[in-house]
Structure 1
Amino acid sequence: MHIAILYNRDHEQLEDDPGREARADVTRVASALAEALAQEGTRVDPVAVEGSRLEFVDVLARLRPDLVINLCESVAADSRAETVVPCLLDMLGLPYTGSSALTLGLALHKDKAKELLRARGVPTPGFARVDRLEDLEGLELPFPLIVKPAREDASMGITRDSVVHDPAALRQAVALVLKTFHQPAIVEQFIPGREIYVPLLGNTPRQALPLTEIRFGRLFDDRPNIVTYSGKWETGSPEYTNTPSAPCLLEDATLEARLVKTAMEAFSALDGQDYGRVDLRVTPEGMPYVIDINPNCDLHPEAGFAKAALSAGMDYRALARKLVEVALERTHGHPTPRRKGSGVARLPDPSNRNVLHGGKGLRGRTRRSRAAAE
């Protein structure tokens, strides 16, 4: 089998990048997966996405791998370009792991994702999208509130000051997001309680891996219990050491079933595929609220998804193989790797793939565009 691992290598592209640590983590995930999948009979080619010229398209068109593991979370250090990658893979007719451009786009546009959840009856905190400070006038959401960028993930833009208790602090937090990230802010009701993550694996059927929970340490005795960007990425910081993830211990089986059901419904609402994680805030009364949906979530060996798989008896090598199997089964209808060569039967690609029939149209169109511009 021939596997290409596609990942963004753009963490050094911007001099002032508020998400540099999160982007650098993707390169480590690519290395870990390449090592886990490298075995007899399997060829693994890491392919980096660098800059904005999209040279990786020609690389993949030349390699023609059996499967692309899509780890790309940004292009040219812009998370909003994440959706470009699966579109191009579809146009090349290459099967890939993880969710489609539609799902990634919905998850990245938090206000649209929350509107969809609300329409489906999936509980999510009340919210408002704020494009400019004037939009705060007449806002009717009860304090406390939490403010975050509307087009980012991985806790980008979340600090200890993101939870606000009065209009002045709200205005200051929104102004910081608008200035720093050049995108709308999401103002959301802050739900006090536990923060529990539900990792999901597979399609038909889809299973929930063992739940994990953030253990907030003594640092948070007098401050809101939230995972900030520092707490997620800056190892050695007080916030990092006081927000470890651990297995979620729930004595109430009914509550656990409710959490899993809510996560499954949220992931399905966005048409998630293969794997992902749904983040919940759970009130002391046991009411879950979806605060984030993470398709194509972090697959680092030390991240929560891999730890949950390990708790289920699946080591990292087994998890990597399972991700490949799940994607191939969804794409081709069976998990068995297809042999190459003349005379080998091949299942037809789904109707939404091979838009440009093998990528020739894409390269030809690119050359014509350049010629026309000269």
Structure 2
Amino acid sequence: MHIAILYNRDHELLEDDPGREAREDVTRVASALSEALSHGDVHAEPLAVEGAGLEFVDLLARMQPDLVINLCESVAADARGEMVIPCLLDMLGLPYTGSPALSLGLALHKDKAKELLKARGVSTPGFARLDRVEDVATLELPFPLIVKPAREDASVGITSDSVVHDRASLGRAVEAVLRTFHQPALVEQFIPGREIYVPLLGNHPRRALPLTEIRFGKLFEDRPNIVTYAAKWESNSPDYQNTPTAPCLLEDAALEARLVRTAMDAFAALECQDYGRVDLRVTPEGVPYVIDINPNCDLHPEAGFAKAARAAGLDYSALATRLVEIALERAHAHGHPTARRKGPGAPRLPDPSNRNVLAGRNGSRDRARRARASAE
């Protein structure tokens, strides 16, 4: 079996990149997965997406791998390019791991994801999207609030100043997001309580891996308990050293079931697939709130998802193999279009996930040229 591991190599593209460490991490994940999967008749080959070009598309078309492991989290150091990759893979007719373009796009447009969660009855903090600093004056959400970029993930843009308690500090936090990231600011009600992560694996059935929790250390005794960018990516920082991830120990089975159900509902609302993680804030009264949905979450061997898999009895090699199996099971389940009745009133076939739109693009262009020539 030939597997292509597609990943973004764009962490050195921008001189001033507030998400550089997160983008660099994916290179290590690609290497780890290649090593874990390449044995026997399986060859897992990393393939970098570099710069703003799409040369990898033609390369994949020539390679025709049996599966693409999609690790791309950005294109040209822009996280908004993440959803482009599944679109191109669908057009090439190549099966791939993880969620489709729509799910990735919704998860990245956090205000849209929250609108959908709210419509589905999934609990999420009250929120507003602010496009201008002037909008702060008319915001009607109770303090405290947390301010974050509306189009980023991996805690990009979150600092100790992101939690605000008055309108003046809210204005400063919103202005910082608008100036630094050139995108709207998402303002949410800040939920005091525990931060618990629910890792999800599979489709039919889908199961939750053992839950994990952020343990906030002494540094956070007089600070808001939030996972900043430094806490996630800067290993020498006090934030990082005071926010270890640990198994979540819940004595209340009903509460655990409620957390898992909330995470499952959120994952399904965005039509995510294969694997991912849902981040919750849980109040002292046991009320869960979805604060983030992470399709295609970090698969580094020492990241939370792999640790949760180990707690469930899956070492890294077994986890990598299982992710391949899940993606192939899904692709084969969709299958290929079969013969159907044609003519008026005939039902339309469902769109297969591996439809190859690009296969006939040259022919389409030729027909278009002939049509123009005959018209002239």
**What TM-score results when the alignment is normalised by the length of structure 1?**
0.92
| Map 1:1-374 → 2, pairs under 5 A | 1-333=1-333, 347-348=335-336, 351-353=351-353, 355-357=355-357, 359=359, 361=361
CA apart distance, 1:352:
3.5
Counterpart-to-counterpart distance in 2, 1:360 and 1:277: 37
Counterpart-to-counterpart distance in 2, 1:156 and 1:232: 9
CA apart distance, 1:354:
5.2
Residues 362, 151 of structure 1: alpha-carbon distance in 2 compared, 3 angstrom cutoff: farther
- Whether the 8 Å contact between 1:356 and 1:362 is mirrored in structure 2 is no
Cα RMSD (Å): 1.7
SS in 2 for 1:235: coil
Gaps of 5+ in 2: 338-349, 369-376
Equivalent residue letter for 2:184: P
Counterpart-to-counterpart distance in 1, 2:82 and 2:305: 20
Equivalent residue letter for 1:35: E
CA apart distance, 1:207:
0.1
CA apart distance, 1:138:
1.6
- Whether the 8 Å contact between 1:70 and 1:96 is mirrored in structure 2 is yes
Counterpart-to-counterpart distance in 2, 1:311 and 1:333: 29
Equivalent residue letter for 1:291: I
CA apart distance, 1:196:
0.1
Counterpart-to-counterpart distance in 1, 2:322 and 2:44: 16
Residues 250, 54 of structure 1: alpha-carbon distance in 2 compared, 3 angstrom cutoff: same
SS in 2 for 1:183: coil
Q: Deviations over 1:238-297 (max 9, x none)?
A: 000000000000000000000000000000000010000000000000000000000000
Structure 1 outlier segments of 4+, above 6 Å: 362-365
CA apart distance, 1:359:
3.9
- Whether the 8 Å contact between 1:67 and 1:96 is mirrored in structure 2 is yes
Counterpart-to-counterpart distance in 2, 1:361 and 1:70: 24
**What TM-score results when the alignment is normalised by the length of structure 2?**
0.92
- Whether the 8 Å contact between 2:331 and 2:354 is mirrored in structure 1 is no
Residues 28, 171 of structure 1: alpha-carbon distance in 2 compared, 3 angstrom cutoff: same
CA apart distance, 1:45:
1.5
Counterpart-to-counterpart distance in 2, 1:258 and 1:363: 53
Percent identity at matched positions?
76
